[in-house]
Amino acid sequence: MRILCALWLLSDVTLLGQIRFQDVAQKSGLRFELKNGAAGEFHLIELMPGGVAALDFNNDGCMDVFFTNGAEVRSLRKTGPQFYNRLFRNNCDGTFTDVTEKAGVTGEGYSMAIAAADYNNDGFVDIFVAGVNRNFLYRNRGDGTFEDVTAKAGLTGVDPKYGKMWSISAGWFDADNDGWLDLFVSTYVAWDPHTERPCGPPGNRYYCHPDDYAGRPHQLFRNNRDGTFTDVSLSSGIAGSIGRGMGVVFADFNRDGLTDVFVANDTVRNFLFQNQGGFKFKEVALETGVSLGETGRAVASMGADFRDFDNDGLPDVVVTALINDSYVLFRNLGPPLYFDDYTVRAGLKQATQQLTGWSTGMFDFDNDGFKDLFFANSHFPHLGQLLGIPSPLPNSIFRNLGNGRFADVSRQAGASFQIPAFYHGAAFADFDGDGRIDVVVSAMNSPARLYRDVTPNSGHWIAFKLVGTRSNRDGLGAEVQVTLPDRRTLYNHATTSVGYASSSEPLVRFGLGTQSVIKHVRIRWPSGAVQELVDVRADRVVQVRESDR
């Protein structure tokens, strides 16, 4: 078996092509600039925006794009079209059309993040926009337009104690496996434009450190199955942990059938909320080894992804961070130890120490059977003066070598991939239907990028579009295990919560290397149902409807 695996590694990892991207945003009509509204007053919110989503809002099988956007900082109002959130319809021919106004999703307030999923199980993806002063729940009417149902749904985000908190990321998951998606909203800090004091000397102002602001609790909203939600932040135990939340991602780390929540926190320890069932959560990041990096310091964690990078069936965690911290990769070893800081062994410590990262995603960009790592990078604006380097950065792609190590292949990833900017949000989807995973990235005050994956000699692939019946319609939380003819087994799960403030396609995707047929597929739905498929042909999207049995 060991020899077989080694041969498989040799045949796939070494022979497949170099990961390459080509920016096609302008050519395809995906023209968007994220405006943070900065006007020289250095308000903290200006550093943080930029969530982006890949979603199929019109069910045509082609992934559309939604960008969140900032506002005028003092008033926190979208004072003009330059601040509108934007929805671009994928025309399924390599082009996009801006349908924001028609869809009714221009938004209001200073928006930060997006979480896309079908919360009411009507077969159309809905949109939650998290923001500093306004949150929105847009119900998809199914006719290309959306209805603002925020107040009716009880998702304004106003906390009984703190009022409207600064929502910075959000994600949909089925906390109690009842077939209806619940909403987790990550909160950053207590912030008020009118009371925020300046930092730095007069004439040389700069953004204050996060330590200058008090933390705030995260929020959990239970889906009442009637279009409304109940705030269960306190009773669930979520509000008991005060952090400075950033990205939020979901996976069942301990394989008990309940989806757990990882929250990346800025300069305080990360949280792992272990789902104990019955809408009760216990914060176990310290006990499970995923709270702090190997240095023992709480790093400025930003975005995260919660997937299995080493194909052992256990979801691992990757977290982006600030310069000098290095990004962190936690490997899940299963019980009793669970997570181990694997950053040094993976070759990521020195390679990422000089980067500042925001969104991230663990996807198999060359379809060789091992998930690679994408990082959206940029230092804080103006910090470059102190750093002695420019603040804008190019993004990074690290190839999974299949032996537990990653190689930085960014410099070989194509000319358009080298362009530096203030990259923040990133969403992952196969926008052109060629089986290779593309990336849309937002950039502060500069054009967004749509990196088309043009990796030559990419491997075979398969993607599962799950349709829940007893489980939530999108099948979020479903775990998929594919076994190849050479007995290798690969794992992934359905989630739209990826990276920082962003939302990716719900499809469960696998790179298969040289294998063109899958011997066996096992799907464990959130309902507990297990479904199996045999001898499945590769290189296509397979729709799987949850069986009634």
Partner 1 sequence: MLAVMLLSLALAAVDRTAADRLYQHRQYREAADQYRKLLDVNPRDASLLVRLGHCAQQLGQFQDAETAFRRALDAAPDSLPALVGISEALLAQGRPEDARQSISVGLRLNPDDRDVRRALAHTLEANHQVFEAESIFQKLTSSDAKDSESWFLLGELQYRGGYYRAAEESLAKSLAIQPANRRAETYRAVCLVKTGRIDEGEAQSKRLIQDPATPKDLDLWLTYVELLYDSNRAAEALRTANQVVGFAPNHPIARYWLAKTLLQAGQLAEASSEAERAVSAAPQLPFARVLLLQIYRRQGRSSDAKRQADWLREYDDRRARHDAR
Nearer to partner 1, 294 or 539 (CB): 294
- The set of long-range contacts for 224-227, using a CB threshold of 8 Å and a minimum separation of 24, is 225/178, 225/180, 227/120, 227/139, 227/149, 227/152, 227/153
Our CB check for partner 1 shows the closer of 241 and 442 to be 241
Q: Strand 460-467 and strand 540-545: pairing?
A: parallel
Distance (Å, whole) CA 136 – CA 53? 15
What's the closest the beta carbon of residue 240 comes to partner 1, in angstroms? 9
Cβ-based nearer residue to partner 1, 276 or 354: 354
Sheet holding 146-148, edge to edge: 111-117, 126-131, 136-140, 146-148
Q: How far is the CB of 170 from partner 1 (least distance, A)?
A: 20
Question: What DSSP letter does each residue of 353-392 carry, written as one string?
Answer: TT--EEEEEEE-TT-SSS-EEEEEE-PPTTHHHHHTS-S-
Q: In whole angstroms, how close is the CB of 424 to partner 1 at the nearest point?
A: 22
Give CA–CA dist 58/172, Å, rounded. Answer: 19
Tell me which amino acid residue 170 is: A
Alpha carbon distances (Å) from 169 to 155, 172, 265? 14, 11, 11
Contacts of 359 (CB under 8 A, 6+ apart): 52, 247, 302, 303, 320, 375, 376, 423, 424, 425, 426, 427, 441, 498, 499, 500, 501, 502
Q: How far is the CB of 209 from partner 1 (least distance, A)?
A: 8
State how far the Cα of 119 lies from the Cα of 60, in Å rounded to an integer. 19
How many Cα neighbours within 13 Å face the side chain of 119?
A: 30
Nearer to partner 1, 190 or 533 (CB): 190
Distance CA 268, CA 264 (A): 9
> CA 86, CA 109: separation in Å to the nearest integer?
14
**Choice between 297 and 487, CB closer to partner 1:** 297
User: What's the closest the beta carbon of residue 15 comes to partner 1, in angstroms?
Assistant: 27
Using CB under 8 A, list all residues that contact partner 1: 190, 200-201, 204, 206, 209, 211-215, 241-244, 268-269, 283, 286-287, 289, 291-292, 294-298, 323-324, 336-337, 340-341, 344-345, 349-350, 353-354, 386-389
CB of 200 to partner 1, least distance (A): 4
206 vs 227, beta carbon nearer partner 1: 206
β-bridge mates for residue 98, sequence order: 88
The least distance separating partner 1 from the CB of residue 349, rounded to whole angstroms, comes to 5
Rounded-to-integer distance, Cα 54 and Cα 360, Å: 14
We find the least distance from the C-beta atom of residue 312 to partner 1, in angstroms, to be: 18
**Comparison of 315 and 347: residue with beta carbon closer to partner 1:** 347
Q: Which is nearer to partner 1, 206 or 279 (CB)?
A: 206
Torsion-angle region of 157 (φ positive above 0: left; ψ -120 to 50: alpha; else: beta): left
Give min distance, CB of 326 to partner 1, in A. Answer: 9
Of 160 and 201, which CB lies nearer to partner 1 in the complex structure?
A: 201
Beta carbon of residue 426, minimum distance to partner 1 (angstroms, whole number): 23
Please say which residue, 107 or 347, places its beta carbon nearer to partner 1.
347
